[in-house]
Amino acid sequence: MSHRSGPGQIRGAGGKSDRLTAGVVLLPGAGRRITGGSLDATVKITTDHPALTSAFEVVIGPGFDVGAHVHAHGEELFYVIEGELDVLAFEPLDRAVPDWHHWQSGTGQRFLRGAPGAFMFVPQCVPHAFSNPTGKPVKVFFQSSVPGGHENYFDELMSLLQRTSGRPDPDDVAGLRARYDIEQITAPR
């Protein structure tokens, strides 16, 4: 027998335990939302469940650019559901180039514009970036095995932005990134 433990969430009888007896099934739109600025993420599962990764449905606002960055630990994947997203996942010839859209790899690779069905896998320590170059929101499925849980990074970032009316001290942002082993290479926009 199963029961609902949240809106649209179905879990096996007995709820959460050390030994899983059932998976997690979510109906469309279900999950905890983290919103603010250009971020609208619906958490589908976290490493607290337990799961090996955190998974999200993320809506990326028009014009948003996360900036190129690197995670010292963990992997990420992105799958475009709706819209178009500029994506990049490689070590550039020159990290000092301030706009990652102008980066090039040693094999000549440059960023790609992905439409629905586009996929990007990012191994740990590989620079990566994404941006929404269009005037419409983009929806992606995002999965992360970054230690500490990406949902916790999102929560802390939203709290910081709310406390500072969207203008956080750069040192506070740097501290947050350091706690989650994120090296920011180019500025977000």
127-181 pLDDT per residue, tens: 999 999 999 999 999 999 988 788 888 888 888 878 887 777 888 888 988 898 8
Q: Give the alpha-carbon dihedral of 83, 88, 94, 98, to 10 degrees.
A: 30
- Establish if 83 belongs to a structural domain: yes
- Establish if 189 belongs to a structural domain: no
- Structurally, how many domains does the chain consist of? 1
Name the helix (H) or strand (E) containing 151: helix 150-163
- Establish if 21 belongs to a structural domain: no
Q: What is the pTM of this model?
A: 0.83
Provide the pLDDT confidence category of residue 30 given band limits of 50, 70 and 90. very high
Q: What is the CATH number of the domain that holds 177?
A: 2.60.120.10
Residue-range definition of the domain harbouring residue 163: 30-183
41-59 pLDDT per residue, tens: 999 998 877 778 899 999 9
Do you know the residue count of the chain? 189
* For the chain, percent of residues with pLDDT exceeding 90: 54
Instruction: Enter the tokens of residue 109.
Output: 């690779």
